[in-house]
Amino acid sequence: MKNRKLQSLLQLGLFAGVLLFLNILANARINGRALYGSLDLTEEKRYTLTDATRNLLEGLDDVVFIKVLLEGDFPAGFKRLQAATRDVLDDFRSASGYVEYEFEDPGAGTTEQINKRREQLSKDGINPVNLRVKGVEGTSEKLIYPYAIIYYKNREFTINLLENEVPGVPPEVTLNNSVGLLEYKLANAIQKLQLSRKPNILFTEGQGELSPMETASLEKSLREFYETGRVYLDSVVSIGQEASVLIIAKPTRPFSERNKFKIDQYVMNGGKVLWLLDKVAVNLDSLRGRKSYYPNEYALNLDDLLFKYGIRIQPDLVLDMQCSTIPLATGLVGNAPQFDYFRYPYHLVVTPQSSHPVVKSLGAVNLLYASSIDTDIKTRTDVEKTVLLRSSPNTRVQLIPVEMNFDFLRYDLDPSKFNQEPRALAMALDGVFPSMYENRVSESMLDGLRQLGMEFRAQSEPTRMIVVSDGDVAKNKVNLKNQSFSPLGYNEFDRYLFANKDLLMNAVEYLLDNKGVIEARGKDVRLRLLDTVKAKEETAFWQLFNIGLPLAFLLAFGVFYNWVRRRRFAR
């Protein structure tokens, strides 16, 4: 009897030892690589890190510590965001032993501690979401901080885990977009912290482009991650690789052949360009005070260069019933004019439909007097083209010359006149671009290159560019009296902040992203909602199934076990 007990104890100890060894082995790492793994059975592979993110994490050489301010008692939606953040961070930690994280509750502690912490967070630009929570005793307000702070080598970076709400978009869709962007936001922050120097973003000058005051809002946001500056094309011999991205923002005067050649060779050497171009010279100020106005094309002398790269902006204006409003005087109240607001189809409100990383989950963008982009231009090299922004199905196109006035606003917009196909308004181009100056470069241009120790290139390295057929997409309102400016994308008539700045920030990140981390922004996390009608009809069945099936299984096991036991000992 004693031997049998001793044997049982030894077997139990051996079994426990094997389990402990397997547990240690499963959590062990060799050269920073985990020995354990997982299977992602979801259709969209939501729990699988992209190759670029995994390569980024495996290349870490120091600890990345992530503090998430999402601890505490939350409503179901924020609980989901909290759980999804924890899942992504666990995936990060499985890819690299240098990733560490903790969740912190900013609302924990005494009143004095909480107020002090909130004051410090506010100084750091971390502002809470004021959420109304319905409880048994009524509705209460709760401050939630959906932020993560990433620390790496004495540097830190703060990201907002919650996407901004867009009018007309259900909160659950906004939350789902937030969950889908978690990997990208965290990986992008780590990538930025790894940079030894900030990339240079240069705006061109000399062709009537937007002034520094008119791009102040965009540059202020860019300077958080990049160095910004201006390059006067006439004063430089060439544009070197010190320009990480070249932004050409609403030029109004023609480019000389020499300056076009500088841009061309910059592209041929792998340079990235963000083209923000107006094709038609028109704005609200040119229409005010006139009964009618006939706009002309801007003579930019860029058509041949852009055509060679596979771009052609048409000499037209795109109108869309999905648009913002403008005020017009409709009468007098005393001696003061009375204004009413009218939908103005030349000021488009474009909701991105593409899954491209630049525009995925992006809010509506406000474009003013945009033109259509021809998507069928062929290039002799391999250039991949993707439409980023497109007008709605309720589109109308006017070729210039056309008479423009405000008379048509006195009547409701007629849907029967907005029946043309959607038009491309912004495109991304990725690949190898041909030089416009192949077989036509002048001797003086070649001499200039020789003096710099450079050779003429007829074909580019693999590179990228983005074109938007509206230069005002980068323009913020300026108050000349006090030299202040409005946030980029703010429409003073609709009192709404459009996603213009987010579009351009994403565009710059896409152009700079050589490691492919931005691919994580294109991950699709699908929102699978229950069929509430069917769920209500089948409530009783599923309750019985969930309760009855385990009991039936337990009963069947008991009967089977007794039958085996009786049969065994009956002998």
Bigger pLDDT: 77 vs 154:
154
Residue 531 — very low, low, confident or very high, per pLDDT cuts 50/70/90? low
| Residue 139 confidence (pLDDT) | 63
| Residue 168 confidence (pLDDT) | 58
Residue 405 — very low, low, confident or very high, per pLDDT cuts 50/70/90? confident
CA–CA separation, 556 and 566 (whole Å): 15
Among 328, 293, 329, 297, CA closest to 313: 297
pTM for the predicted model, two decimal places: 0.78
> What are the residue ranges of CATH 3.40.30 in the chain?
32-192
Mean pLDDT for the stretch of residues 271-286: 92
| Residue 276 confidence (pLDDT) | 97
Is 3's pLDDT higher than 90? no
Q: What angle do CA 45, 46, 52 make, to 5 degrees?
A: 80
The answer to whether the CB of 515 falls within 8 A of the CB of 56 is yes
Residue 438 — very low, low, confident or very high, per pLDDT cuts 50/70/90? confident
Query: 397-433 burial by CB neighbour count: b if 16+ within 10 A, else e?
Result: bbebeeebebeebeeebeeeebeeebbbbbbbbbbeb
Among 267, 243, 218, 198, CA closest to 464: 267
> What are the residue ranges of CATH 3.40.50 in the chain?
198-282+295-397+422-498
Backbone phi and psi for residue 211, each to the nearest 5 degrees, phi listed first: -80, 165
Is 32's pLDDT higher than 50? no
Tens-digit pLDDT profile for residues 481-505: 888 899 999 999 988 999 999 999 9
Residue 408 — very low, low, confident or very high, per pLDDT cuts 50/70/90? confident
Topology at the third CATH level for domain 198-282+295-397+422-498 = Rossmann fold (3.40.50)
Is 368's pLDDT higher than 90? yes
Among 538, 351, 516, CA closest to 426: 351
| Residue 296 confidence (pLDDT) | 92
Element (H, E) at 360: none
Is 137's pLDDT higher than 60? no
| Residue 169 confidence (pLDDT) | 61
On the 0-12 / 13-18 / 19+ scale of CB atoms within 10 A, 323 is buried
Backbone phi and psi for residue 145, each to the nearest 5 degrees, phi listed first: -110, 90
Least confident of 24-28, 162-166, 336-340, 342-346: 24-28
Is 6's pLDDT higher than 60? yes
Q: Which of the four CATH numbers 3.40.30, 3.40.1710, 1.10.3470, 3.40.50 does domain 32-192 have?
A: 3.40.30
Average pLDDT of the chain is 84
Tens-digit pLDDT profile for residues 147-161: 999 999 888 888 888
Enumerate long-range contacts of 536-540, CB under 8 Å, 24 or more apart: none
CA–CA separation, 469 and 314 (whole Å): 9
Query: 440-464 burial by CB neighbour count: b if 16+ within 10 A, else e?
Result: ebeeebeebbeeeeeebbeebeebb
Whole-number Cα distances in Å, 430 to 234, 438, 461, 556: 28, 20, 11, 63
CA–CA separation, 373 and 296 (whole Å): 17
Tens-digit pLDDT profile for residues 202-250: 999 999 999 999 999 999 999 988 999 999 999 998 898 889 999 999 9
